[in-house]
Each structure stands twice: as C-alpha cells, then as structure tokens.
Amino acid sequence: MRLSSRVKLGVNIDHVATLRQARKEAEPDLLAAARVCRQAGADSVVVHLRRDRRHVQDEDLRKLCAAPGRVHLEISSEPAMVAAALKARPDSVCLVPERPGEVTTEGGLNLAKSGRAVKAAAARLKAKGVGVSLFIDPEAAAVRAARSLGADTVELCTTAYCAARGQKAVAQELERLELAAYLAYEMGLEVHAGHGLAYHNVKPVAAIPHLGGLNIGFSIVARSVFVGLKAAVSEMKELVS
Ligand code: PXP
C-alpha cells in the first residue's frame, strides 16, 4: 500500500553500499535497493557521495540519477564535489560538513566559517537547476544565514534530539526543532530534518508543523537485515505519514 503524506520520506541507502564495499562485489545492488525503497513508499532516494568514496561511488550516483525517481544527494561544498554532482544531476543536493575520518556527519554546517564556500557551491548548483538544501543545526542564526546564502531548503539536524535523554531534555530538543522549523517556514524555506532518526523517536519530529520531509538511512538499513528492505521502509513510511 502506498501512503501519501505531508512529510516526504527520503531513504538514505549509503549503508547498502557500505555492505557492498565490504567485499567490493556487485551485491547488494544499489539500483535494486532504490527500486525497493520507492515501491515501499520512499519519496526519494538519498545518497552521500563522500570525498573518500567509502560507500557510494560516482558510478552509483550516475546510474541512480539516470533511473526513474527522485535522487537527493549529500556532499560537502568543495568545488570537486559540486562538479561530481553536476555531472550526475540529482534532483536536489544537501550541502553538509564533512570532516575526514568522521564516522558520520557530525552536525550542521558552520555557516559563519564556511559561508563563502557554501554560497559558491549553492550558486553553481542552482544555476543548473538543482535544488539546494543546507544541513544546519536548529538555530535561528543558522536558518537566517542559510536563507541569505541562497538555500531553497534547510535540513534541520536531529542528532541532538536523538541523543537527548530524559523527558525534559527530549522536549527541549523538540522545541528547538519546532522553533527553527517555524522560522524557516516564515522565511519561505522548505523545511526538512534528519540524522539519527529511528523507529522509536521519529513520530514527534514527523509531527512538527511545516516540516516537509525527513531523510533517514541507518535505522532503516539496520532493520532491513531482520525484516527486509521493503518492510523496513514501509514501517518507517507509516510512522511518518
Ligand atoms: N541527513 C543528513 C544531512 C545526513 O548527512 C545523513 C547521513 O548521511 C542523514 C540525514 C541520515 O542519517 P541517518 O543515517 O542517521 O538516518
């Protein structure tokens, strides 16, 4: 069953590629994974093309973008990464910070520090018709900066929400997300959120007013080991719908 919802679900399949790269074989096939995600209700497929190419490869990106369905790409703002994106032409790109050696993205962009590079990357992408999202912490200053740097969308980082322990701390983090979402919406930005979300903590985030999309990867791919990718995606789709 296909559920339609206000909150679109982007399924990040990086870790399908992580499994494949463990043996550098052809399986599991990323294109097949993308198809299953879409059949199960994913509104887009998300991949992070890392500088170190530790999981997704340029050729994966090329094939995913050539196949039917929306592809949302995460990259750093480096000119070489923007060039790789423009070669493949995903529907949209989220610019993220990337620290060499990090296990996963460690938080939102520091726009005070990287504003110039982000602005240049955003302009190059937008000039070619690629939608631009900026991954930011849920803070008013970051929302304002994202707007001024040319973002169409902000993706609010949910890491702190996911890491919060105890009712009060969780409520505080949720409120930060709600306030940032409201401000972004008021400024005319599309609002997305993601990172670290899982089946047990996604519902309050999905219920945030003005939220248009969630990008979720690790928890879905982890659950797919036990229930299969199709069931893992549709269970998540049902929770966010
Ligand atoms: N959003 C952004 C900007 C990310 O960098 C990632 C991880 O690639 C995700 C969402 C998905 O995070 P997770 O795999 O923890 O669900």
CB 9 within 8 A of CB 45: no
Residues 6+ apart with CB under 8 A from 44: 8, 9, 10, 11, 69, 70, 71, 72, 91, 92, 213
Whether 15 is catalytic is no
Ligand 1 atom at minimal distance to the Cα of residue 219:
16
The domain of 232 spans 8-240
175 catalytically annotated:
no
Name the one residue in this structure whose structure tokens are 């990106």: 61
* CA distances, 37 to each of 9, 26, 185, 228, 235 (Å): 10, 18, 28, 11, 11
Per-residue pLDDT 10s for the chain (241 aa) are: 444 568 999 999 999 999 999 999 999 999 999 999 999 999 999 999 999 999 999 999 999 999 999 999 999 999 999 999 999 999 999 999 999 888 898 899 999 999 999 999 999 999 999 999 999 999 999 999 999 999 999 999 999 999 999 999 999 999 999 999 999 999 999 999 999 999 999 999 999 999 999 999 999 999 999 999 999 999 999 999 9
Is 3 part of any domain? no
**Does residue 190 lie in a domain region?**
yes
- Quick check: is 55 catalytic? no
- 111: domain CATH number? 3.20.20.70
The answer to whether residue 135 sits within a structural domain is yes
In a domain, 169, yes or no: yes
User: Does 142 map to a domain?
Assistant: yes
**Which amino acid, one-letter code, is at 139?**
E
108 CB within 6 A, ligand 1 = no
For residue 2, tell me if it sits in a domain: no
Q: Which helix (DSSP H) or strand (DSSP E) does residue 238 occupy?
A: helix 229-240
Say how many domains are in the chain. 1
H helix runs in 56-212, sequence order: 58-66, 79-88, 111-127, 140-148, 159-163, 167-186, 202-206
Q: Among 15, 72, 74, 173, which one carries the catalytic annotation?
A: 74
- Three-point CA angle 189, 217, 198, nearest 5°: 90
